[in-house]
Chain A
Amino acid sequence: MALPSYTSVPERIWHYLFIAICAAVFLFLVFPLLVIIPLSFNAVPFFTFTKEMLAFDLSGYSLRWYEDFFTNPNWQGAVRNSFVIAIFATLLSTFFGTLAALGLSRNHMPYRTLITSLLISPMIVPLIISAAGMFFFYSRLGLLGSHIGVILAHAALGTPFVVITVTATLVGFDNSLICAASSLGATPTQIFCKIIVPLITPGVISGALLAFITSFDEVVVVLFVGSFRQRTIPWQMFSGIREHISPTILAVATLMILISVILLVALELLRRRTERIRGIKES
């Protein structure tokens, strides 16, 4: 994009400075992530770039940390726990979050703002406070150190995402569609199954993906509520850094970045699909 001919010198300087600042911010955000990826292919157990790596010598690279990740029973247990906990927590968050959003979107819902802010609070309250609160609450219920405890805790953290995405889908919901379906002879149950559910599905799925990522990445609550038997991938990484430092966590980190990217791409594709279905034009 060429600058118009009437641009003054200070404006030109500012223009390029602005681009430079943007690039710096972008690098600041992304560089720590990018550095991890080549390091995870390190051939030696160090967290630094070796001479061979910098010389792009193939002998400096290896897949040994990936191999360790896929064979070590500690990591395999963590993977299993992470998926089990994330999947069940996602199911719970999605179910309750969707119901809450449907209820909150009704015209005559009393105390809507109050209830919404309560439901959203796990997103806003500092995680360490939620975790400490859950620790004391769950200890009374005997849920500490159990899978159910961690699943419930993660469900509470994931629900706000589902509430927000489904509510956003329902904001644009055209109530005359419900009237139309009703006049065409559909019972309330048929309207729910054939009209409402298909139209809010993209919102439900994006909420579910966000809830899944939340649970999958979460470490603080697991440390408080869980124990070794509930070790998730982040838990294992955290204890790995403290105890026996091994580049395996770099390999794990790379894989987790990959998973997050895949989920985010899926989210974006879903958003576009929703817009297309509803006939919203790209602006």
Chain B
Amino acid sequence: MSEESYVRFEDVRKSYDGETLVVRSLDIDLPKGEFVTILGPSGSGKTTCLMMLAGFETPTHGKIYLDGQPLNDRPPHKRNIGVVFQNYALFPHMTVAENLAFPLQVRGIGRSETEEKVNKALDMVQLGGFGERMPAQLSGGQQQRVAVARALVFDPKLVLMDEPLGALDKQLREQMQYEIKRIHENLGVTVVYVTHNQSEALMMSDRIAVFNEGIVQQLAPPDVLYEQPNNSFVAQFIGESNQLRGTLNAMENGEAEVMLSDGTLVLATPVNVEGVGQETLLSLRPERVIFNPDTNVTPTHLPAKVIELIYLGDHIRTRMAVAGQDDFIVKIQNDSDHASLSIGDTLTIGWRSQDCRALDAT
């Protein structure tokens, strides 16, 4: 086991009914102090992973380690892992201060030390002076802060967060994202965060594990995930991308020549395609499309027809017909000298081959 590894999943599988695997095979190593997000659509097994780490579910197969210690045979209350639940799970019959004191009391920590830690934790989430309130008297955002403080107050080895901001409105959610990020940076605690919200994942995480159908599709920092997706699921799931179907025509100098469905030849970077003649899905970010490219610099160029223009303030979303498909999206930045297009215009577009990734066609 590497020194880096703090949380480790070793070929973990989980099945609830003994037939279908919710988690097919999970191998992850997470270093200490990292903020890792498990991102995936609902039903992808991401919450199950978190529940196995917390000890509320037992893996059907495989081992989980925390700080070098195997966790499988340890009950949840001996794992020293803080958990923030989606519905906050604050104890409704206790005040905020009593909620925060609970993990300290069950550990037999003295009264004065408890009080000191509780006050510190309340200050950390900017709820100093709210100790005597009952949870029901707090707003959703405040309750969420209490839940975060409670999961941190006993200095856990690891903090798990299960879609903690799912119930908050957009503005409050963004504010809490910054706050959780700040707390993570101040305390240096290791956080495993589960969400299906990709902008939340991109904004908060050191690394993101994209989860689908019970396996990790890609584990990478946000920028790598966005710019260099490993397969077509990640490309479609993270951000917006144009998908062009084609067949691999030739491979040369690390570049792939792809024939699109209407016979146009374009260049792309091969990622997980091998053989010539294989079906492939080209993935291209809308902001990486170049208008009227210089054919000497960008050899890929093809005609496009404007179908729809949507004004969105900072950019103009343009839908175009390209290579027989009419769902090709281009984002035009609303600069002072941006191209002024109207519906029905025909122009030439192109892209650098490193921006266009040839992925599996599934």
Contact = CB atoms under 8 A, between A and B. Distances in A.
A106 to B, nearest CB: 16
Nearest to B82: A183
A179 B83 contact: yes
A27 to B, nearest CB: 40
B84 to A, nearest CB: 9
B77 A183 contact: yes
Given A177-B89, A194-B102, A184 B135 contact: no
Among B56, B76, B154, which residue has the most Cβ atoms of chain A within 10 A? B76
Interface in A170-217: 174, 176-177, 179-188, 190, 194-195, 198-199
Contacts of A179: 54, 56, 76, 83, 85, 89
Interface in A145-192: 174, 176-177, 179-188, 190
B91 A195 contact: yes
Interface in B120-161: 134-137, 150-151, 154
A278 B83 contact: no
Interface residues of A, number: 22
A10 interface: no
A279 interface: yes
Interface in B50-73: 54-56
Interface string B90-126: 1111000000001100110000000000000000000
Given A174-B89, A180-B89, A184-B82, A277 B136 contact: yes
Contacts of A190: 106
Given A176-B87, A190-B106, A277-B136, A183 B92 contact: no
Among B77, B137, B150, B151, which residue has the most Cβ atoms of chain A within 10 A? B77
B103 A277 contact: no
Interface residues of B, number: 30
B306 interface: no
B284 interface: no
A11 to B, nearest CB: 43
Nearest to B138: A279
Interface string A70-104: 00000000000000000000000000000000000
B173 interface: no
Contacts of B154: 184-185
A182 B134 contact: no
A277 B98 CA distance: 14
A276 interface: yes
Interface string B170-194: 0000000000000000000000000
Contacts of B218: none
Contacts of A199: 92-93
Contact of A186 (B80, B87, B102): B102
Contacts of B137: 279
B161 to A, nearest CB: 12
Nearest to B100: A184
Contact of B85 (A180, A185, A187, A276): A180
B32 interface: no
Nearest to B92: A278
A185 B89 contact: no
Contacts of A181: 91, 102
Contacts of A278: 92, 136
B79 interface: yes
B81 interface: yes
Among A184, A195, A279, which residue has the most Cβ atoms of chain B within 10 A? A184
Contact of A185 (B54, B91, B107, B135): B107
Nearest to A194: B102
Contacts of B134: 277, 279
A185 B77 contact: yes
Contacts of B56: 179, 182
Contacts of B78: 185
Given A183-B76, A184-B150, A185-B80, A277 B106 contact: no
Nearest to A275: B136
A185 B106 contact: yes
A194 B90 CA distance: 13
Given A179-B76, A180-B85, A187 B106 contact: yes
A168 B337 CA distance: 67
A186 B83 CA distance: 13
A193 B17 CA distance: 33
Interface in B248-292: none
A188 B55 CA distance: 14
Nearest to A182: B76
Given A184-B82, A194-B102, A198-B93, 6 more contacts: A180-B91, A183-B77, A183-B81, A185-B103, A187-B77, A190-B106
Interface of A: 174, 176-177, 179-188, 190, 194-195, 198-199, 276-279
24 contacts: A176-B85, A176-B89, A180-B83, A182-B55, A182-B75, A183-B54, A183-B76, A183-B77, A183-B81, A183-B151, A184-B103, A184-B151, A184-B154, A185-B107, A186-B103, A194-B106, A198-B93, A199-B93, A276-B136, A277-B92, A277-B93, A277-B136, A279-B134, A279-B135
Interface of B: 54-56, 75-83, 85, 87, 89-93, 102-103, 106-107, 134-137, 150-151, 154
Of all A-B residue pairs in the complex, the 6 with the closest CB atoms, nearest first, are A279-B136, A184-B103, A180-B89, A183-B83, A176-B89, A182-B76
